[in-house]
Structure 1
Amino acid sequence: MIATKSMPKQSMYDTVIKQFNKTAEIIDLNPNIKKILEITNNEIVVHFPVKMDNGKVEIFTGYRVQHNNALGPYKGGLRYHPTVDVDAAKALAMWMTWKTSLAGLPYGGAKGGIQIDPRNYSDAELERITRRFTYALGENIGPEHDIPAPDVNTNAQTMAWIADTYMSTISTSERSQNQHVVTGKPVGSGGLEGRDRATGFGVYLTTKELVKSRGESLKDKTFIVQGFGNVGYWASKFLIEDGAKMIAVQDAHATLFNEEGISVEKLFEHSSPRKGSIQGFTEANEMDPAEFFGLECDILIPAALGNQITGDNAYTIKATIVAEGANGPTNEEGEAILLEKGITVIPDILCNSGGVIGSYFEWLQNRNGELWELDEVMQKLEKKLLQVFKKVEKEVEERNTDWRTAAYILAISRIETAYNQRGIFP
């Protein structure tokens, strides 16, 4: 739900390009490398027919945008949402390039999906849509080329369908070596223990570390969450376990408020895993969605879609920390207002990077034929996230700049170094 007075004037693609140009100027980025990074490598659009439960055929449009692979195979999610188009996928793919670079992973960035509202389709229809989309993408994805993952309205089941379809198109002898064509799979199908909570854990841990750097703790801190999907749920769960209190939550159907605190487990039980909603939850009161961002709280977690915090509503925000669980939830105008108000923004490419780090672990596990236990995964994830957080924190202090600028400087500088060392073919 977009809690603004009017629709955003700036697209996510406009936002990511402005962020990139700002960073390029700060670091005096090589102009030839700048030309490469400001465009995508490939933009794939596929149209494909699927037979519905009623026997009729519908034509769907799917997208996969591959931004850059200087550091390794393309990596990024697939989302099923009405807002999916080429421009949105381009923006999200660029953010994935910066995110994987910042995390120190051997990946580039990609993104894509299908322009649908999955709530309008049965499970059987969604399976056929997913399998047909995978077939249409063909060799544009692959375990050493482009590795999709779950995103908005997709999940472990979606990834299992993609993996099965992809492996059915290759020779029998190669199937065991191609399980890592996607990450975020069910544990029983080669998935990683803890991958479900990795993104939310990253949101929690980076928030905790920022609070700790101020000589404080999460105990009795209040927070509000926009979006109660996988990221919103796990981030809230970890925060509450560490003493914080969720006082409001918003999704596309309702905005709930309870000053005494909302039980994340009861709310999760109330909403179904895929097509559910927080609407109708009796232990909180519904409120005007336009007033959500303006609630008195310590921490705001936008964990839904992009372009939610804009010039139209940023001035109402009273939180001291904005932890970006979603990709691109704050546009340039909105962020300028937040920074002027003294609000710290933990940028998406740092804050929600636990997901892609978890995906990397799953990819390695499949590639090496290993099985990692949950404790081992969470220890590795925490260690990696803390390393990245400390690097960005150091950059913030040394340059006396905001967290997004610091993160972008580190991410883009790493890619520039790779190009400088390798040269540009031919």
Structure 2
Amino acid sequence: MTTITAELKKPSKKSKKALVRGMMDNVMEQFNSAADQINLHPNIRKILSITNNEIIVNFPVKMDNGEVEIFTGYRVQHNNALGPYKGGLRYHPTVDIDAARALAMWMTWKTSLAGLPYGGGKGGIKLDPTKYSKGELERITRRFTFALADNIGPEHDIPAPDVNTNSQTMAWIADTYMSTRPPAERTANQHVVTGKPDGSGGLEGRDRATGYGVYLSIKFWAEKNNKSLNGKKFIVQGFGNVGYWAAHFLEKDGAKLVAVQDAYGSIQNQKGIKVEDLFKYSKINDGSIVDFPNAKPVDKNQFFTLDCDICIPAALGNQITADNAPNIKARLIAEGANGPTNVEGEKILLDRGITIIPDILCNSGGVVGSYFEWLQNRNGELWQLNEVMEKLDKKMKESFDKVFDYSKNEGVDMRTAAFCIAIERIEKAYIQRGIFP
């Protein structure tokens, strides 16, 4: 182990570099803008501008054919002033140290804004999971966990699912981590990860928490603006866990899904696409929405320009840019993904009067659900689904109201408001505790 201090379709090497470089530029510009807004103490600005720890591990895994492949995994721990590092692990070809840095910083602001006792971390493995069998992915995951060793832990750094990882991935990590502990400590370390299956210490409702949080953010925005969601058209980029559940709950409120884009293609039907029908189709079609019978294909470059009221980017970062922002017809962007709108694209949208519910607020239902799971494991409790959803609703409402009110009172956009609230909470912790030594 060495420790050192979207494109939806598979990107080229050149576009991969541009993607992660853009993400880091975005998060730093967002941070500096908010820091200027609140006159952040210069010393605390220095601390928050860098990561605490950056872990890179290279490890061998035997493939099904007997050959050995070497994989590179990352875990970046940005800040833990408020509590243990918290954030997902993704399996994707774009994963590298720069991407992990940007995502870890966003996690710090997200957990702070939500009022959770967590800091921010992020990581993953650079790979395309579609190229490996389930058995190979299990061995890769377990070997990665072993390589990370004590760099993760239930009171130190708590991973969760992210792009191309799921509850099964978390179950493998938890089992591997607990197996390396002394026998008397094994069951006490179950909360080393969150997002586990229900039968292995997971939280009932955790699967829908992020998407439900996206829906709630849209619902709260509509209520603040005296609007009804009934009849509103929305489009979703990414029809995985986040996109599906957001669409599921929006449809229940009378909104109409009219277009979807995933890694395989784009479809639309202005008369409406039934969410459950599309979900069932994708499940039997290897996760793809392509050739869904009740919709027609759309050029991927035209997706964001389609007629709609609400746009939910729930895939990868840097999807809304200066190239497509001028032609977006939606009046509300609800960021289900992390960093889907770059700085240049956001400026264009704001100038056009389009509202953006920022990622660190909009998709924070996932980390709030993770916090509930962590508490459940820590306290030896079992929470029912209705209890989880009620708690999530209350927590998301508190965060949304704070951001909305700050935005109105200070005359800033919602992202700046969210960042200011998050950074001020961390600044207060440093001021109260001081800097060691």
Q: TM-score range by the shorter chain?
A: over 0.9
Aligned to 1:88: 99
Aligned to 1:24: 35
Residue type matched to 1:141 in 2? I
Aligned to 1:211: 222
Residue pair 2:59, 2:72 contacting (<8 A) in 1 also: yes
CA offset digits 1:217-254 (Å, max 9, x no partner) = 11000000000010000000000011000000001111
Q: Aligned partners of 1:419 and 1:157: how far apart in 2? A: 37
Q: Aligned partners of 1:60 and 1:280: how far apart in 2? A: 35
Q: Aligned partners of 1:57 and 1:336: how far apart in 2? A: 47
Residue pair 2:8, 2:315 contacting (<8 A) in 1 also: no
Residue type matched to 1:196 in 2? D
Residue pair 1:81, 1:116 contacting (<8 A) in 2 also: yes
Residue 374 (1) aligns with residue 385 (2): yes
Shift in Å, 1:17: 0.4
Aligned to 2:235: 224
Q: Residue 72 of structure 1 aligns to a residue in which SS?
A: coil
Aligned to 2:89: 78
Residue 188 (1) aligns with residue 199 (2): yes
Residue pair 1:221, 1:299 contacting (<8 A) in 2 also: yes
CA offset digits 1:173-229 (Å, max 9, x no partner) = 001110000000000000000000000000000101111111111100000000001
Shift in Å, 1:335: 0.2
Aligned to 2:7: 2
Residue 328 (1) aligns with residue 339 (2): yes
Query: Which is further off, 210-219 or 100-109?
Result: 210-219
Alpha-carbon distance change, 156 to 95 in structure 1, aligned in 2, over 3 angstroms: same
Residue pair 1:13, 1:91 contacting (<8 A) in 2 also: yes
Aligned to 2:171: 160
Q: Residue 179 of structure 1 aligns to a residue in which SS?
A: helix
Q: Residue 322 of structure 2 aligns to a residue in which SS?
A: coil
Q: Aligned partners of 1:2 and 1:85: how far apart in 2? A: 16
Residue 112 (1) aligns with residue 123 (2): yes
Alpha-carbon distance change, 204 to 43 in structure 1, aligned in 2, over 3 angstroms: same
Q: Residue 309 of structure 1 aligns to a residue in which SS?
A: coil
CA offset digits 1:147-193 (Å, max 9, x no partner) = 00000000000000000000000011001110000000000000000
2:45 to 25, 29, 34: 34
Residue type matched to 1:33 in 2? I
* TM-score normalised over the length of structure 1: 0.98
1:312 to 300, 307, 323: 323
| Residue segments in structure 1 that go unaligned for 5+ positions in a row | none
Shift in Å, 1:275: 5.1
Residue 124 (1) aligns with residue 129 (2): no
* TM-score normalised over the length of structure 2: 0.95
Aligned to 2:3: none
Residue type matched to 1:86 in 2? I
Q: Residue 178 of structure 1 aligns to a residue in which SS?
A: helix
Q: Aligned partners of 1:112 and 1:403: how far apart in 2? A: 27
Residue pair 1:119, 1:275 contacting (<8 A) in 2 also: no
Residue pair 1:64, 1:89 contacting (<8 A) in 2 also: yes
Aligned to 1:347: 358
Q: Aligned partners of 1:277 and 1:422: how far apart in 2? A: 51
Shift in Å, 1:3: 7.7
Residue type matched to 2:241 in 1? N
Q: Aligned partners of 1:258 and 1:161: how far apart in 2? A: 40
Residue pair 2:23, 2:342 contacting (<8 A) in 1 also: yes
Residue 365 (1) aligns with residue 376 (2): yes
Alpha-carbon distance change, 200 to 424 in structure 1, aligned in 2, over 3 angstroms: same
Q: Residue 167 of structure 1 aligns to a residue in which SS?
A: helix
Aligned to 1:170: 181
Residue pair 2:313, 2:334 contacting (<8 A) in 1 also: yes
Aligned to 2:267: 256
Residue type matched to 2:176 in 1? T
Residue pair 1:3, 1:291 contacting (<8 A) in 2 also: no
Residue 51 (1) aligns with residue 55 (2): no
Alpha-carbon distance change, 208 to 23 in structure 1, aligned in 2, over 3 angstroms: same
Residue pair 1:71, 1:101 contacting (<8 A) in 2 also: yes
Shift in Å, 1:283: 1.3
Residue pair 1:45, 1:64 contacting (<8 A) in 2 also: yes
Shift in Å, 1:277: 1.2
Shift in Å, 1:280: 2.2
Residue type matched to 1:124 in 2? G
Alpha-carbon distance change, 273 to 232 in structure 1, aligned in 2, over 3 angstroms: farther
Shift in Å, 1:273: 8.6
Shift in Å, 1:272: 2.8
Q: Residue 436 of structure 2 aligns to a residue in which SS?
A: coil
Q: Residue 111 of structure 2 aligns to a residue in which SS?
A: helix
Q: Aligned partners of 1:46 and 1:283: how far apart in 2? A: 46
Q: Residue 230 of structure 2 aligns to a residue in which SS?
A: coil
Aligned to 1:151: 162
Q: Residue 219 of structure 1 aligns to a residue in which SS?
A: coil
Q: Aligned partners of 2:301 and 2:224: how far apart in 1? A: 32
CA offset digits 1:19-74 (Å, max 9, x no partner) = 11111111111100000000000010000011111111110000000000000000
Aligned to 2:147: 136
